[in-house]
Amino acid sequence: MDEVERYLARSPMPVPAGDLFAWHARPGAFERLSPPFDPVEVVERRGGLEPGARTVVRFRLGPLRRRWTAVHTALEPGRSFADRQEEGPFLSWEHLHRMLPAGEHGSTLEDEVRYRLPLGAAGRAVGAGPVRARLESLFAYRHTLTAADLARHAELPGPPLRVGIGGSHGLIGTTLGHFLAAGGHTVVPLGRAMAEGDVEGLDAVVNLAGAGIADRRWTAARKQVLHQSRVSTTLALARAIARARRPPRVLLSGSAIGFYGDRGDRAVDESGARGPGFLAELADAWETATGEAAEAGTRVVFLRTGVVLSPQGGALAKLLLPFRLGLGGRLGPGTQVLSWIALEDVVGAIHFALRSEEVRGPLNLTAPEPVTNAAFTRVLGRVLRRPTLAAVPAAVVRTVFGQMGEESLLAGANVVPRALLDAGFRFRWPGLEEALRFALGKNRLPGIPVASAGDGGAS
């Protein structure tokens, strides 16, 4: 009989057990618990947590793509549910999720996994350590994220909202949609061609639509695409809101810290004037396009977002391969200030703005601890345990990327999230290294020592 391995993780949660269970049972929770550093593709979902419910995903195992089919086997409403592998890389896999009461206002999340590795003693010799490390990384991420999400929803109570999201398939829009759904809200994807009926009955709209700024050189045609995908779409949305019989109470509209232009290391908050350059002009036009909605009485917030850190998209995703190959290095002089923010703090800030009636106008979505490009390079290299000696001269950046490289990669601004801080928003990942370690799966949650599992299943 192949030996059964056992992993048991336990963490305190900031809500009662019933609320913890309800979060897991809602749409979006599965996606929230799928880490960005180890992504899966959902092939099929049938049912919820009840016995017989089924989930099929594809995942990467080394250079190969594999399927994993999980079937739910047991459910105790408000307290626990279980699933087992029907198809996948293990000889067997059983996972029991427990939500245990812990005082009047708290609970304990407990994950128990029992599994058998393939190939007998040889499989255990080669795979036991890596599998254990992967579990510790996975559950460190899942427990940290679960606690943060639950705390954010509990800190800003209120009735569930119907939230329309423009750009719902982008990095931020997708993550925000799953966060809101798992928190009990209803998410309505919005297209780019807006009409009054599209926003009727919505409590709020989050407008995140727009083509990627740093995807390619800024030719005249590309600039037109960037402008139209933001400004034209926002104009149509604002007009639809203004003409609706029951318009949304709040519009959170995308913008960017490019509004401030190249500011060197001088701190700038929401009171700062517009800077020079294409990005500043684009952000200004983007914000101005919301005018009809504001004039109609809808509360409008401009989400001036910094460099969002996620391995699934944006700047960090582009940097990971060269840095992992030991080819990372500073860009240009390295003195340009990088005003960054963790993806999960972006989502938290948007949720905060949805719930906070006093928040309006420009809102800087940046972490309170910006760094220089050189410092970012050092920290990312340290987190990945790679050298960072391959600097890219400014002349090369300008030659390869043109104006886009000049304004997006070589310029900088020390952007302060003053409005968020003054309103009482709490950053969960204010420091760069902790944010990178979380996003890249570099934290560990060691399992709790347990008695030998024998050859039985989870119970």
Asked if 290 and 300 count as a contact pair (C-beta separation under 8 A), the reply is: yes
Distance CA(209)–CA(11), nearest Å, equals 37
User: pLDDT by residue (tens digit) across 262-308?
Assistant: 998 999 999 999 999 999 999 999 999 999 999 999 999 999 999 99
DSSP state letters, 202-238:
-SEEEE-----TTSS---HHHHHHHHIIIIIHHHHHH
**pLDDT (tens digit, 9 = 90+) per residue, 321-376?**
999 999 999 999 999 999 999 999 999 999 999 999 999 999 999 999 999 999 99
- The CA–CA distances, whole Å, from 313 to 47, 156, 347, 407, 455 equal 30, 28, 15, 19, 42
Query: 390: Cβ–Cβ under 8 A, 6 or more apart, which residues?
Result: 322, 326, 327, 328, 329
For residue 397 the two structure tokens come to: 């950046």
Using CA atoms, how far apart are residues 97 and 33, in angstroms rounded to an integer? 13
Structure tokens at 49: 């947590």
Q: What is 5-155's CATH superfamily?
A: START domain (3.30.530.20)
**pLDDT at residue 453, as a whole number:** 44
| pLDDT score of 401 | 79
At residue 186's C-alpha, the angle toward residues 180 and 187, to 5°, is: 75
Token pair 């800077």 is found at 275
Q: What is the pLDDT of residue 195?
A: 66
pLDDT of residue 1: 54
Q: How far is CA 121 from CA 2, 3, 124, 135, 458, in A?
A: 8, 9, 5, 20, 22
Those residues of the chain that have pLDDT short of 70 are 1-2, 195-196, 451-459
pLDDT of amino acid 120: 85
Per-residue model confidence (pLDDT) at position 10: 97
Instruction: Tell me which CATH homologous superfamily contains domain 162-439.
Output: NAD(P)-binding Rossmann-like Domain (3.40.50.720)
Q: Per this entry, what is the length of the chain?
A: 459
Helix, coil or strand: residue 71: strand
- Cα torsion 267, 269, 273, 277 to 10°: value is 70
- The C-alpha atoms of residue 434 and residue 371 are separated, in whole angstroms, by 14
**What's the DSSP call for residue 273?**
P
Q: Per-domain residue ranges for the chain?
A: 5-155, 162-439
Alpha helices in 84-232, H assignment, sequence order: 120-155, 171-182, 196-199, 220-227
Q: Which of 214, 218, 222 is nearest to 402 (CA)?
A: 218
Report the SS3 class of residue 12: strand
